[in-house]
Homo-oligomer: A and B are copies of this chain.
C-alpha cells in the first residue's frame, strides 16, 4: 500500500543531486569535484547537499553506486543474448555525445580506486559481475555452436580488458579508438566461430 510512484521530494532531490554530481565530474574532473562545483550544477543550494548527505564522502559513495548502476543499464536496455551483442553494447559503433561524457566520468571515478580501498572494493565487484556475465554468454555461445570451444576464462578476460581499455583510451585521448578496436574484436570473434 506504500506509495511507490508518489511525488517523493526527497528521492527526487537526491536523484537531482546525483545528476548534478555527474555533470560536475564530467566537466571539471575529480581534481575539481568540489561541493561548490556540484552545487553550481544543482538548481538548489549548496547547504541542501548537507541536508541530504552527512559529508562529501557520503555523497560520493552513493554517487559511485549510482554511476555503476547506470553503466550496468547499458546491458539491460539492449537485450544482450550473445557475446557479440555484449561487445556491441559496450563498444557501440555510433558516436554518442552523452555516453562520451559518461565514460569520462566513469574512468575518473575508477582511477580513484587505485588508491582508495572503498572504491576499489566496489570496482572489484563490478568487474566480477561483468566477467561472470561474459563467461555465461561465451558458454552459451559454445553450447549453441556459435563459438568454437575455447578457454572460456581466458577469452572472457581478454574481451573485458579490451572493452575497458577501449573505454580508457577513448576517454583520455583525442583519437577515436572505438571503431578500429571494435572491428578487431569482431574479426577475432569471427575467427572463433564454428569453422574448426
The chain A residues found within 8 Å of chain B, CB to CB, are 26-32, 103-105, 107-108, 110-116, 119-121, 123-124, 127-128, 150-151, 153-155, 157-158, 160-169, 171-175, 177, 180-181, 183-185, 187-188, 191-192
Q: Looking at chain A's contact residues, is the secondary structure mostly helix, strand, loop, or mixed?
A: helix
| Most chain B CB within a 10 A radius of its CB, from A28, A167, A171, A184 | A184
Instruction: State the copy count for this chain.
Output: 2
Contact B28 A188 (CB under 8 A): no
Q: Contacts A108-B111, A154-B187, A158-B181 given: A31-B30 contact, CB under 8 Å?
A: yes
Contact A115 B108 (CB under 8 A): yes
Chain B contacts of A171 at CB under 8 A? Answer: 111, 113-114
